[in-house]
Amino acid sequence: MAEWNTKISVHKDGKSIIRGYELEELVGKISFASMVSLLLKSSLPTPGEEKVINAILVSSAEHRLNVSSIVAARSIASTGNSLNASIAGGVLALGELHGGAIEGLARILQENTEEASEIVSSYKANKKRIPGFGHKVYSTDPRTQKLFEIAKSEGVFGKNCEKALKIESELEKQSGKKLCLNVDGAIAALITDMGFSWRTANAFFIVPRTLGISAHVVEEFESGKPVRVLREEEVEYSGELNKKL
């Protein structure tokens, strides 16, 4: 076997083949959501899955300016960097607490066979946060509600979505706080019900949010202030003054 082996794509006899299909056959015939399934799961989605994947992509593409990834990307764009450097910087600001919690919950749902109550109590005992729950502005994430509504009507809402909702109620019961199943958590449950591996999970946020980041970077180029910095009143110095050598 060659050192670099792939089952994803090849250019052969003048044709590009993607997961077995000729690229020219796919173009104009399948949606971007179907392409996501073909690339990340090696198979085309059912019509219901296609609608849910499309809804996931739309729900994650953009939210607001004041999130870490957009602030990072726009700051980088404001100091004379290129589109690709600014987008890369925004993507690097995604992490376990912002846009990157999908993987954590998808892994729990795919590997942890414990009951919801046991999962919550062991995270609490270890003083860890359960990925996919809680939100800075929402006590109920409307994106979760909408995605689950679509999934139910398309027959995609399955046992992993139910388990994620059980974890949400257990978390409230055991911590006394409403920590909602957020959009990352909802996506984790949905992709698990559709058979995607947890290793693909964060791509369901990174791919669409790259589009939102791109729009912000272009807006920054066209109408932003050069060299973005925090205002003086937003920064507090708590170190020492007047030290002598």
Ligand X SMILES: CC(C)(COP(=O)(O)OP(=O)(O)OC[C@H]1O[C@@H](n2cnc3c(N)ncnc32)[C@H](O)[C@@H]1OP(=O)(O)O)[C@@H](O)C(=O)NCCC(=O)NCCS
Q: Nearest distance from residue 177's CB to ligand X, in Å?
A: 6
**Smaller CB distance to ligand X: residue 15 or 128?**
128
Near ligand X by CB under 6 A: residue from 131, 151, 189, 204: 131
Taking the least distance from each CB to ligand X, the nearer of 119 and 156 is 119
Stretch that binds ligand X, among 47-55, 70-78, 130-138, 234-242 (CB under 6 A): 130-138
Site residue total, ligand X (CB under 6 A): 15
Residues 167-186 that bind ligand X (CB under 6 A): 177, 179, 182-184
- Quote the least distance from Cβ 122 to ligand X, whole Å: 12
Which one of 135, 146, 166, 228 is in contact with ligand X (CB under 6 A)? 135
Q: Could you say whether residue 97 binds ligand X (CB under 6 A)? A: yes
Query: DSSP letter string over the chain?
Result: --SS--SSEEEETTEEEETTEEHHHHTTTS-HHHHHHHHHHSSPPPHHHHHHHHHHHHHHH---SSSHHHHHHHHHHTTT--HHHHHHHHHHT-BTTBB-HHHHHHHHHHH--S-HHHHHHHHHHTT-PPTTB--SS-SS-HHHHHHHHHHHHTT---HHHHHHHHHHHHHHHHHSS---B-HHHHHHHHHHHTT--GGGTTHHHHHHHHHHHHHHHHHHHHHPPSS----GGG----S--S---
Min separation Cβ 108 and ligand X, Å: 12
Site residues (vs ligand X, CB under 6 A): 97, 101, 129-136, 177, 179, 182-184
